[in-house]
Amino acid sequence: MRSRNLPILSALLLTLSCNARSIAKPGHSTQDSPEKDARAADSPDSGLDADAGLVDDGFVRLQELTDENPDPHIVEVSLEAQLASLALVDDTAHTHRTYNGTIPGPLIRANKGDQLIVKLKNSLADPTTIHWHGMRVPNGMDGVPGVTQEVVAPGGSFRYEYPLLDASAFWYHPHFQTLEQVGDGLYGAVLVSDPDEPPDLGRETVMAISDISLFEDGTPQHHPDTDETTVFGREGATLLVNGQTAQRMQVTSGERLRFRVLNMARSRYLALQLTGHSFLRIGGDGGLNEFPVEEAITQLTPGERADLIVEPHGEPGTHVNLVTLPVERGAGATTAIGPEVLIRLEFKDEPKLKPRKLPALSRDIPLADTKDALEIQMELTVGTEDEHVVMGINGVPFEEASPLHAIVGEPQIWRVVNETGYSHPFHLHGFHFQVLDESGTAESPLRYKDTIDIPPQETRLLVPIFEARPGKWMFHCHILDHAEAGMMGVLELSETDEGNGWEVPPGGTTPAENLAVLSVDDFAALVATQAYREPPWVAETATARPRTSPVSPHGDVRVFANDTLLKSLAKGNAVTRGDDGLLEASLDSQHDTGSMAVKEFYEGDQVVGHAVYRKLAGPAAAAAYYCEGPQSRCGISSSPPAYGEGFGIDCGFCHGGVVFTVNFPEVTGN
Ligand code: C2O
Ligand code: CU
């Protein structure tokens, strides 16, 4: 096994787990005006904390779950997915999918470092799961059916248990039938507090914002009825704050408030504004930012969170509105929509409070390592198939995509390009990423993100931080209509390069163990003669890694080389042309991305193939691929072709091509 070079990551993990153990649990000290919330289900077995919540400011807070575990460092709660009859839009009750009978589901409160145990019971007629959005959980706890766990069948249950590594506002929702389940009412918030953060950040309020649409007969609108709805995403006609319309909150002028805002809507973008004021945005998805910034408008895509401080000022008896402004996210998003009021802040008949100094807030966020990073291009795409809208990544809808590979600690840059005419909120499961602009400059302040807007025709560079939690992890657009239409992919994170991308058949060996050893020259010859089309290549690699592509019967090949060989690969000197006249190496079209090199092969003017060398990890590993086709679609091409044009290497997203690997000998010395 090769050693990994992860100084920043392991340091970070160490700090987190050290903090973790010295933490007291929060008291359940705040909350609730039960008279207004007719939905409060505080029967003894509802799991809801009947005493939680006392702030009498008129604002309806989320129900909270009772911690069933006496250990101060364990939070153990029960969630039941169940149908409930609720009147969300007007006075008429309708049946919705809920957690514990409320929409949103109850708030789970814990401290950073606690162990969270959630016992899910599925009392729905359909299977379900829970995904913990934004949390760095072990792979088996990520809640993706068929990928990280089996579905929880009707009547079944599942125990989620993991340590809370980060302090922030997170949320939970199913990852099964998301349009119906999340789009209806299965979503809830988790607030993980940091007991070590400075006091005096303001009176804290969790605001779970979502929306809902009912058909005329009152049934919830789930499925997009037209392709237009798919493209636009279903925005519910009614905005909900903690499941309520027309929320209000009594405040004292000058009072410091802290809003923990979560966008749980299926498609709607939020642009928060408190008329006449600005927010101090201190954090978001992955906790506090490097430093706070003032924002007149705070935009949140579906899935994103914001940690805001604001001190509203006004005369007693007057009010100021927290509104969401229309967001131009393409596809006619702002047509006939004006600002909508989320909460009316009403000034109490009390003297203004004097301004107080805000505690210094800064967080040391190390810049993710991008040296020698493998750059992966991900184009968010839309097309049609059988006259229906199909979305995808690099032109490939989720069902047909093969996984993208990475190794724990491997630096990668994901260049996410939005070629469509509308915005997509890009979400990665299980890991934080940092964001760079198109030129590669890190954003300021630095933050840990898990969901980010990619506006139309724009590009963002994301640097995921691959800690040692191997497994399959989803990434997708968090407009759930888009995800469902195919804009979703899987990252397969391996512990070591030995296992990278390879599924070892039961009783089998890894390809590295049983592939033939070829010299660089033999590799070139193999490419030239197409001998790789014959056994043993085909049979062996096909069992090693079954592929989904219909035109890629060939398997993968691996290369092991030392620095010297890698250097020569990068210089384009490793593979020379075969002498059958078919393949010709051209040094001009060599792309060298540091850890990756591509060569193009010509037949006349026509590019007929690519050889791609990819450094897998460690000082001496590399992979070689050869693909037949005019363009590489592996993310390193500077101008990827439109979907349908030719083949690519099958390194993640590509369809087809011929992919094989060669086990080069270890080259020693210079
Ligand atoms: Cu909230 Cu797969 O995501
Ligand atoms: Cu999208």
> How remote is the CA of residue 638 from the centroid of ligand 2, in Å?
23
Assign 533 to helix, strand or coil.
helix
132, 142 in Cβ contact below 8 A? yes
168-177 pLDDT, tens per residue?
A: 999 999 999 9
pLDDT score of 532: 40
Q: Which of 107-121, 311-325, 396-410 has the lowest mean pLDDT?
A: 396-410
**Own/partner long-range contacts of 565-573 (Cβ < 8 Å, ≥24 apart):** 565/520, 565/622, 565/664, 565/667, 566/613, 566/615, 566/620, 566/622, 568/520, 569/597, 569/613, 569/622, 569/624, 570/594, 570/597, 570/613, 571/597, 572/597, 572/599
For atom 1 of ligand 1, the residue with the nearest CA is: 133
The tally of CA atoms less than 13 A away on the side-chain side of residue 396 is 25
Q: What is the DSSP letter of 31?
A: -
Between 331 and 341, residue with greater pLDDT: 341
Tokens 């060989």 found at: 565
Question: How much distance in Å is there from the Cα of 11 to the middle of ligand 1?
Answer: 28
**Ligand 1: centre distance to CA 648 (Å):** 29
Closest ligand 1 atom to Cα of 144: 2
Model confidence at 328: pLDDT above 80: yes
Distance CA 629, CA 337 (A): 47
pLDDT digits (tens, 9 = 90+) for 298-323: 999 999 999 999 999 999 999 999 99
Whole-number Å distance, alpha carbon 577 to ligand 2 midpoint, is 43
pTM: 0.72
Question: Is pLDDT of 388 > 50?
Answer: yes
Question: Pocket residues for ligand 1 (CB within 6 Å)?
Answer: 131, 133, 173, 175, 303, 427, 429, 474, 476, 478
Mean pLDDT calculated for residue range 370-395: 85
The Cα–Cα gap between 439 and 208 comes to 35
Confidence at residue 224, expressed as pLDDT on a 0 to 100 scale: 64
CB-neighbour burial class of residue 45 (10 A; exposed 0-12, middle 13-18, buried 19+): exposed
The radius of gyration of the chain from alpha carbons, rounded to an integer in Å, stands at 27
DSSP 186-230: --EEEEEE-TTS-S-S-EEEEEEEEEE-B-TTS-B--S-SSHHHH
- Residue 570: the pLDDT is 34
Least confident of 39-43, 69-73, 216-220: 39-43
Query: Looking at residues 628-633, what average pLDDT do you find?
Result: 36
Q: From the alpha carbon of 133, which atom of ligand 1 is closest? A: 1
CB distance 206 to 108 below 8 Å? no
**Which whole number is the average pLDDT over 658-663?**
32
The C-alpha atoms of residue 345 and residue 343 are separated, in whole angstroms, by 6
Tens of pLDDT, residue by residue over 438-471, are: 888 999 999 999 999 999 999 999 999 999 999 9
Residue 74: pLDDT above 80? Answer: yes
The one-letter code for the residue type at 163 is P
**Cα three-residue angle 227-229-234, rounded to 5 degrees:** 155
Atom 3 of ligand 1 has which residue's CA nearest to it? Answer: 133
Tell me the pLDDT of the chain averaged across its residues. 72
- pLDDT computed for residue 654 by the predictor: 30
Predicted pLDDT at 226: 76
Task: Report which of residues 103 and 655 the model is more confident about.
Answer: 103
> Closest ligand to 424 CA?
2
The atom number, within ligand 1, closest to the CA of 134 reads: 1
Provide the percentage of residues in the chain whose pLDDT is more than 70. Answer: 64
Cβ pair 258, 320 in contact under 8 A: no
Say if residue 150's pLDDT is above 70.
yes
User: Residue 661: which pLDDT band, with cuts at 50, 70 and 90?
Assistant: very low
Q: Residue 520 has which token pair?
A: 């660089």
Residue 142 Cα to ligand 1 midpoint, Å, equals: 10
Strand partners, 406: 493
pLDDT digits (tens, 9 = 90+) for 417-445: 998 999 999 999 999 999 998 888 999 99
